[in-house]
């Protein structure tokens, strides 16, 4: 795999080529000196969150491209359609020849898919920056805190169920797909979304809708299910202190 | 900003949403569930921007994604996000260009 990633790194404008798995753990990388292993591991976790989010809209995604003022990020899905799996990420500056790079990345993607199908893609600590000092390397499994997916967050489940759930009634809480038994229940859901958003951001509304579906699948949400809902939502918060704070804020429905 | 009329008129654009970065819907076109789309788009752009920040790539301008049946593009317009969903995905690049030029015209 290193040879494939090195081939991408040899393209003019490419600064790093990274492969990470479905949990956001970096499997291997090749990068210029400024893109060292700790940085690429951190970015892998962040990009995995982005991939999980795209899957909420489009489970069978093939590629994601991000254009920045000073460069590009190109992500390719290395998994079979509809499955979660490895992702190739290419970091490039503004000198990248996009047309040429697209072909090269496509070829590399095919090779990496074959390597994965053949079982030859194993987590490795051997990947490195082209001139990074050896001391900068850390074990492949040591992601920085907060860089990976949140525990309990299975985006496949979310993607396969959340965006198509149609059992709905309108509410005034910004959770239009959630059926609630009464105004008090709707108000509690709004509080949940607001409190959760403090810890996970705007995706909180989607989490709340999914959680309601899990704790109250056959009936409109009622306050009787409030405790189960809060516990379910708390599992989306990675930091224990934040989790406790969230649960405390919602103790009194 | 409103959804650019050029984008709204394209038959390939199946839906579009303008939102703020915190996931609030400002305008939705042919999209019944604008709130969820806005939430997803807000989180996606935030995560990608964070990665770009770590990598020193500068400000995020555009995110696009493709699949076998459709594609999507999210353009950053100041504090707002313009998302368009396109079928077939082969039309995505032309929608990207139109969206980018519409936003550039707005800036100038």
What is the ipTM score, two decimals? 0.94
DSSP letter at A155 equals H
Q: Is the pLDDT of residue A112 over 80?
A: yes
Residues A15 and A132 in one domain: yes
Contacts of A72 in chain B (CB under 8 A): 57
The answer to the question of residue A153 being in a domain is no
Chain B residues touching A201 at Cβ < 8 A:
22-23, 42-43, 46
Which 8-state DSSP code applies to residue A135?
A: G
For residue A135, pLDDT over 50 is answered with no
Q: What is the mean pLDDT of residues A86-100?
A: 91
For A198-226, letters b (16+ CB in 10 Å) and e give: ebbbbbbbbbbbbbbbebbeeebbebebb
- Nearest by CB to residue A203, choosing from B24, B43, B50, is B43
Is there a single domain that holds both residue A187 and residue A242? yes
pLDDT digits (tens, 9 = 90+) for B37-78: 999 999 999 999 999 999 999 999 999 999 999 999 999 999
- Report the pLDDT averaged over residues A74-103: 88
Q: How far apart are CA B15 and CA B108, in angstroms?
A: 26
Residue of A nearest to B50 (CA): A46
> Between residues 2 and 61 of chain B, which touch chain A (CB distance below 8 Å)?
21-24, 33, 35-40, 42-44, 46-48, 50-52, 54-61
Give residue A158's pLDDT. 33
Q: How confident is the model at residue A118 (pLDDT cuts 50, 70, 90)?
A: confident
Q: Where are the domains of chain B?
A: 5-107
**Is residue A154, in this structure, part of any structural domain at all?**
no
End-of-domain residue from the set A136, A155, A190: A136
Q: Is residue A203 part of a domain?
A: yes
Tell me what the mean pLDDT of segment A207-226 comes to: 86
Residue A145's pLDDT band (cuts 50, 70, 90): very low
Chain A CA closest to residue B69: A60
Residue A137 or residue A22, greater confidence: A22
Q: Is A244 found in the same domain as A120?
A: no
Domain endpoint, select from A136, A154, A179: A136
Tell me if B48 and A73 make a contact (CB, 8 A cut-off): yes
Q: Which regions of A78-167 does DSSP assign to beta strands (E)?
A: 87-93, 128-129
Q: How many domains does chain A have?
A: 2
Q: What is the pLDDT of residue A209?
A: 83
Confidence band, pLDDT 50/70/90 cuts, at residue A120: low
Shared-domain flag, residues A38 and A122:
yes
Q: Residue A145 falls within a domain, yes or no?
A: no
Model confidence over A27-60: pLDDT tens digits?
A: 999 999 889 999 999 999 999 999 999 988 888 8
Mean pLDDT of chain A: 77
Q: What is the mean pLDDT of residues A56-76?
A: 92
Whether residue A86 is contained in a domain is answered as: yes
Residue A215 sits in which domain range? 165-249
Are residues A177 and A132 both part of a single domain? Answer: no
Per-residue model confidence (pLDDT) at position A206:
78
**Would an 8 Å CB–CB cutoff place A62 in contact with chain B?**
yes
In a domain, A73, yes or no: yes
The residue among A10, A16, A66, A13 whose CA lies nearest residue A42 is A16
Chain A: residue whose CA lies nearest to B46: A50
Q: How far is A28 from chain B (nearest CA, A)?
A: 17
Say which of A53, A65, A73 has its CB closest to residue B40: A53
A164 by DSSP, 3-state: which? helix
Architecture of domain B5-107: 2-Layer Sandwich (3.30)
Do A90 and A51 share a structural domain? yes
Residue A209: alpha-carbon gap to chain centroid = 18
Together in a domain, A27 and A125: yes
Distances (CA, A) of A23 to A48, A206, B58: 7, 20, 26
Q: Which of residues 95-154 of A touch B (CB under 8 A)?
A: none
pLDDT for position A251: 82
Whether pLDDT at A124 is above 90: no
Q: Does some domain include residue A125? A: yes
**What pLDDT score does A122 carry?**
55
Higher confidence at residue A239 or residue B50? B50
Chain A residues in contact with B55 (beta carbon < 8 A):
15-16, 35, 39, 43, 71, 73, 91
Residue A92 CA to residue A74 CA, distance in Å, equals 8
Same domain, A8 and A102: yes
Q: How confident is the model at residue A137 (pLDDT cuts 50, 70, 90)?
A: very low
Instruction: Look at residue A160 and tell me if it is in a domain.
Output: no
């Amino acid at each position: 795999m290193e040879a494939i990633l090195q081939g991408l790194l040899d393209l003019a404008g490419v600064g790093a080529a990274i492969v990470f798995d479905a949990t956001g753990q970096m499997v291997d990388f090749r990068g210029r000196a400024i893109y060292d292993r700790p940085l690429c591991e951190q970015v892998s976790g962040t990009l995995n969150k982005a991939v999980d989010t795209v899957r909420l809209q489009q489970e069978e995604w093939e590629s994601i491209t991000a254009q920045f003022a000073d460069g590009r990020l190109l992500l390719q899905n290395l998994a079979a359609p509809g499955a979660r799996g490895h992702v190739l990420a290419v970091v490039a500056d503004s000198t990248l020849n996009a047309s040429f790079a697209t072909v090269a990345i496509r070829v590399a993607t095919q090779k990496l898919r074959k390597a994965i199908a053949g079982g030859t893609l194993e987590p490795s600590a051997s990947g490195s920056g082209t001139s990074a000092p050896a001391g900068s390397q850390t074990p492949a499994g040591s992601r920085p805190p907060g860089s990976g997916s949140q525990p309990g967050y299975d985006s496949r489940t979310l993607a396969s169920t959340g965006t198509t759930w149609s059992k709905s009634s309108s509410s005034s809480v910004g959770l239009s797909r959630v059926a609630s038994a009464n105004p008090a229940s709707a108000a509690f859901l709004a509080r949940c979304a607001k409190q959760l958003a403090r810890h996970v951001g705007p995706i909180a509304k989607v989490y709340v809708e999914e959680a309601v579906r899990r704790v109250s699948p056959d009936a409109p949400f009622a306050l009787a299910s409030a405790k189960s809902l809060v516990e379910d939502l708390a599992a989306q918060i990675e930091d224990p202190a934040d989790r406790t704070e969230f649960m405390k804020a919602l103790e009194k429905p | 900003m409103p959804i650019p009329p050029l984008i709204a008129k394209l038959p390939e654009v199946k839906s579009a949403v303008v939102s703020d970065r915190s996931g609030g819907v400002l305008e939705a076109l042919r999209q019944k569930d604008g709130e969820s789309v806005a939430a997803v788009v807000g989180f996606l752009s935030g995560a990608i921007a964070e990665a770009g920040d770590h990598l020193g790539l500068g400000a995020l301008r555009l995110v696009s994604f493709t699949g076998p049946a459709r594609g999507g593009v999210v353009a950053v317009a100041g504090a707002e996000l313009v998302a368009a969903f396109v079928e077939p995905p082969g039309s995505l690049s032309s929608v990207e260009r139109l969206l980018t030029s519409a936003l550039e015209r707005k800036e100038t």
